[in-house]
Chain A
């Protein structure tokens, strides 16, 4: 140690605080022993414990100790950083220290909750983690903040119930709102339904009222038939490019008389009515639509020009071109909703093969009073398009016997493992609608796996339909067969309550098919730099405490875009997202913490590798008077650290995850682990805080046990991992090292996980080549909810460490010590 370093070290005064968390930690960790251990570590001036460190007295204890002992570093050992790191950073701030002079040791989720059967080992593990934290905090540096002016305007994407609600809440609060919809009108899927549960009111009436309000609030600008194409900028100052498709009708001039629609001679299948009805080439989708302006379909149009002739306002313009609109907004709300999966793949049900097998959304169209048959269900085998009358004609008896099949595609490992949540309720609603409004004598069978009627008033709704005479069969139909002559269907199902197979005759079989994210969700997510989950829906920042937030600051989600939701929930989320946007923009400026990338100008050689690694274009090489140097745009940088992990010279650093800080933590943990765990295997894990670390937290919450020899270091993204970290870990005595990242496609920072994979792949080959062995290093995809996988991987890697034995390095050292 040089003289200078020694002096610097002496100046560091660390306070250590261990929380009991009631019995949550103290029940399976010897808190006093940890405190005694910490006291002996260099630079620790004071070590104390407290029953509830996060409580007022607990926080005061820390604050007073900072003053009394003149501390300049604090390590607190309690629950996971995602819960209380912020709390203690604030304590430091209040005591006059930079908040980043704090380090959080996770002694609850990583020790007391997962090793509760072995108090000795749990205590040992906490000691090791504390040693790592104390070593690390010595190298912490202050991190500043910056203030940014924000625009008080919001872009809402998607004009369904969630988007409309968000726009109204924001508009009424005085924010400028741009409400954009891909369709030529607002309303979303809601506008396609006849009735909506649980109150069975008419969606058009509800929407009509909302449309009226939208017209009243002058801050809201509705842009329909338009899609988001590009996003640049950063929180509070986004620039969005929107492409407005040509409608071929001048929106300013059109008076909504619909003469053109009635005179158009063309008829093609209507997408809105799932191909069951026809529409003209210039059309509106539903009579109450907003805005009430027709759209011309240039592919169907025969260019006869009748519409032009009859239009009293001279609004029709065949020469319209796509138009690009540029908006500047402070925040974005994504409410792009869902679409129904067409279950062609479920061959046993014959959808697409048997005409009279339809989906629930198609039945909803039949039951819609504005639909093709004005609310009367029919057998598609009876429907025929009459060229003379230019409309749909139904010949034959209306259906009498219905079979509804729940969970088609959803909750099925073959297709989609998730529950589509609202299908039970809309199937029940359709049964009720048929029995009440169409035919009280209809025979309706509902074949279900489990009925999920969970919200307020839903159970009563379900009871009602049972009273009305719907027959509920618990069992998943195995097969549907059609009589080719009569077109009657026969549904084979084992009634699991009766325990015997039955066959039900049906005129119409209706499948409650899976709800999928609406088309283009993934593309939009990529444009907006937000993430989707394994199910394809947009991913919320936190399922419990961040349900409408995303990984990108200033971008929120609402409604079914993040998973199937009913209307009440979508509306609530619309309001929630609006409130989040308001709390962000309300003050007119935001504070950004600069825990982001930084470039050491002396070390930077301007090679531009960082440029190729940054998914946000936030780091760029510029010509300076010192030569080519990389520069970080601190507002655009999201702090993933992918640049730092790939920088060949070490010039680029992710603040708070700098190389010396990481090395110190690795050293601290492994030195202490070698001393305490002696000849037991030592496994070091680097876990991305979005996924693998979150899974480790979940493993803690679920008390999933795994061996205590696994020590976890939290990193902002698996892309932060540096080959140097891995090599250092082996050098310091780790037997096995692994990295936990997000599943490909769901990285919070676009593809940090894939960057990590490449580095690990290379490091594995390198370790093979130098005789350490590449199988001592792995990378795993451990999504946040998969706590089981986290525990299994931990077990597996400890097993591997046992099998491989200590590294040659550790073995050599051990021999030396013995001699």
Chain B
């Protein structure tokens, strides 16, 4: 509900129209199309939860509010992380969690509202207008922008006319 409320001012009418026109014009269903570099408006965002530090920059700055903040910290990220490659303090914390753990690091820990640094985001591709702002803002490169269009999303469900 809260997410709905947050998105009530988001208007993607024009884009929806464009997509429906492309769909009508399409002679066959295509899966992926590569697009030129720095050609914004099309393309897709890839998210790597292991790199994410839940700073919520993407969540706050997305013009179509395509992100949901998920207030769950996945313990398996601690288990799977390569400590050496983590940022200094994060590495220390993850190492401490591993050393303290009395059981297998699995499951989720609920993150209190307003606490940043733990948790992840969820990207709703059907709301995305591929502006690449999130990937630009993402401080840990957890979000990357790929120059290809996931056409399958348009054809299989996703946005209906």
What's the minimum C-beta distance from A148 to chain B, rounded to whole angstroms?
32
CB pair A648 B90 closer than 8 Å: yes
Could you tell me the distance between the alpha carbons of A759 and B139 in the complex, rounded to whole angstroms?
22
Most chain B beta-carbon contacts within 10 A, residue among A649, A659, A728: A649
User: Interface range on chain B: under 10, 10 to 19, 20 to 34, or 35 or more?
Assistant: 20 to 34
What's the minimum C-beta distance from A466 to chain B, rounded to whole angstroms?
59
Enumerate chain B residues within 8 angstroms of A731, measured Cβ to Cβ. Answer: 96, 99-100
Enumerate chain B residues within 8 angstroms of A628, measured Cβ to Cβ. Answer: 139
Whether a CB of chain B sits under 8 angstroms from the CB of A533 is no
Could you tell me the distance between the alpha carbons of A607 and B87 in the complex, rounded to whole angstroms?
12
Enumerate chain B residues within 8 angstroms of A765, measured Cβ to Cβ. Answer: 109-110
Whether a CB of chain B sits under 8 angstroms from the CB of A608 is yes
Whether a CB of chain A sits under 8 angstroms from the CB of B53 is yes
CB pair A758 B115 closer than 8 Å: yes
CB pair A771 B109 closer than 8 Å: no
Given contacts A727-B96, A731-B96, A770-B102, contact A608 B55 (CB under 8 A): yes
Given contacts A762-B112, A771-B102, A772-B102, contact A648 B89 (CB under 8 A): yes
CB pair A770 B89 closer than 8 Å: no
What's the minimum C-beta distance from A720 to chain B, rounded to whole angstroms?
14
Given contacts A609-B117, A808-B102, contact A769 B140 (CB under 8 A): no
Whether a CB of chain A sits under 8 angstroms from the CB of B73 is yes
Within 8 A of A (CB), among B77-130: 87-90, 92-93, 96-97, 99-103, 105, 107-118
Whether a CB of chain B sits under 8 angstroms from the CB of A380 is no
CB pair A605 B102 closer than 8 Å: no
Which listed residue, A605, A608, A723, A808, touches B140 by the CB 8 Å rule? A605
CB pair A650 B92 closer than 8 Å: yes
Within 8 A of B (CB), among A728-770: 728, 730-731, 758-759, 761-762, 765-767, 769-770
Whether a CB of chain B sits under 8 angstroms from the CB of A603 is yes
CB pair A727 B93 closer than 8 Å: yes
CB pair B92 A659 closer than 8 Å: yes
Within 8 A of B (CB), among A513-568: none
Could you tell me the distance between the alpha carbons of A605 and B140 in the complex, rounded to whole angstroms?
7
Within 8 A of A (CB), among B126-144: 139-140
Whether a CB of chain A sits under 8 angstroms from the CB of B46 is no
Whether a CB of chain A sits under 8 angstroms from the CB of B57 is yes
Of all chain A residues, the one with the shortest Cβ separation from B114 is A758
Could you tell me the distance between the alpha carbons of A608 and B56 in the complex, rounded to whole angstroms?
9
CB pair B101 A770 closer than 8 Å: yes
Whether a CB of chain A sits under 8 angstroms from the CB of B49 is no
Whether a CB of chain B sits under 8 angstroms from the CB of A216 is no
Whether a CB of chain B sits under 8 angstroms from the CB of A647 is yes
What's the minimum C-beta distance from A98 to chain B, rounded to whole angstroms?
25
Could you tell me the distance between the alpha carbons of A761 and B118 in the complex, rounded to whole angstroms?
12
What's the minimum C-beta distance from A476 to chain B, rounded to whole angstroms?
45
CB pair B55 A809 closer than 8 Å: no
Of all chain A residues, the one with the shortest Cβ separation from B101 is A770
Which listed residue, B87, B108, B111, touches A648 by the CB 8 Å rule? B87
Enumerate chain A residues within 8 angstroms of B108, measured Cβ to Cβ. Answer: 769
Whether a CB of chain B sits under 8 angstroms from the CB of A606 is yes
Could you tell me the distance between the alpha carbons of A389 and B128 in the complex, rounded to whole angstroms?
74
User: How does the 8 Å CB contact mask read for A595-608 relative to B, with 1 for contact and 0 for none?
Assistant: 00000000101111
Whether a CB of chain A sits under 8 angstroms from the CB of B75 is yes
Enumerate chain B residues within 8 angstroms of A583, measured Cβ to Cβ. Answer: none
Of all chain B residues, the one with the shortest Cβ separation from A757 is B112
CB pair A772 B92 closer than 8 Å: no
CB pair B55 A609 closer than 8 Å: yes
Given contacts A605-B87, A607-B53, A646-B116, contact A769 B107 (CB under 8 A): yes
CB pair A608 B112 closer than 8 Å: no
Enumerate chain B residues within 8 angstroms of A650, measured Cβ to Cβ. Answer: 87-90, 92
Whether a CB of chain B sits under 8 angstroms from the CB of A676 is no
Given contacts A648-B53, A758-B114, A762-B109, contact A727 B87 (CB under 8 A): no
Enumerate chain B residues within 8 angstroms of A728, measured Cβ to Cβ. Answer: 96
CB pair A770 B117 closer than 8 Å: no
Enumerate chain B residues within 8 angstroms of A809, measured Cβ to Cβ. Answer: 99-100
Given contacts A608-B57, A724-B89, A724-B93, contact A770 B116 (CB under 8 A): no
Enumerate chain A residues within 8 angstroms of B97, measured Cβ to Cβ. Answer: 727, 766, 770
Within 8 A of B (CB), among A306-329: none
Of all chain A residues, the one with the shortest Cβ separation from B78 is A770
Given contacts A607-B55, A607-B139, A727-B100, contact A649 B75 (CB under 8 A): no
CB pair B101 A649 closer than 8 Å: no
Given contacts A727-B100, A765-B110, A770-B75, contact A605 B139 (CB under 8 A): yes
CB pair A606 B100 closer than 8 Å: no
Could you tell me the distance between the alpha carbons of A649 and B116 in the complex, rounded to whole angstroms?
12
Enumerate chain B residues within 8 angstroms of A758, measured Cβ to Cβ. Answer: 112-115
Could you tell me the distance between the alpha carbons of A612 and B93 in the complex, rounded to whole angstroms?
21
User: How does the 8 Å CB contact mask read for A702-742 relative to B, with 1 for contact and 0 for none?
Assistant: 00000000000000000000111001101100000000000
Interface residue ranges, A against B (CB under 8 Å): 603, 605-609, 612, 628, 646-651, 659, 722-724, 727-728, 730-731, 758-759, 761-762, 765-767, 769-772, 808-809
Closest 10 pairs (CB-CB, A-B): A650-B89, A771-B102, A649-B87, A607-B55, A605-B139, A727-B96, A607-B139, A648-B53, A770-B101, A758-B115
Interface residue ranges, B against A (CB under 8 Å): 53, 55, 57, 73, 75, 87-90, 92-93, 96-97, 99-103, 105, 107-118, 139-140
A-B contact pairs, 24 of them (CB 8 A): A603-B87, A605-B53, A605-B140, A606-B139, A607-B53, A609-B55, A628-B139, A648-B89, A648-B90, A648-B117, A649-B53, A651-B87, A651-B88, A722-B89, A727-B93, A727-B96, A761-B115, A762-B73, A762-B112, A762-B115, A766-B97, A769-B109, A770-B100, A772-B102
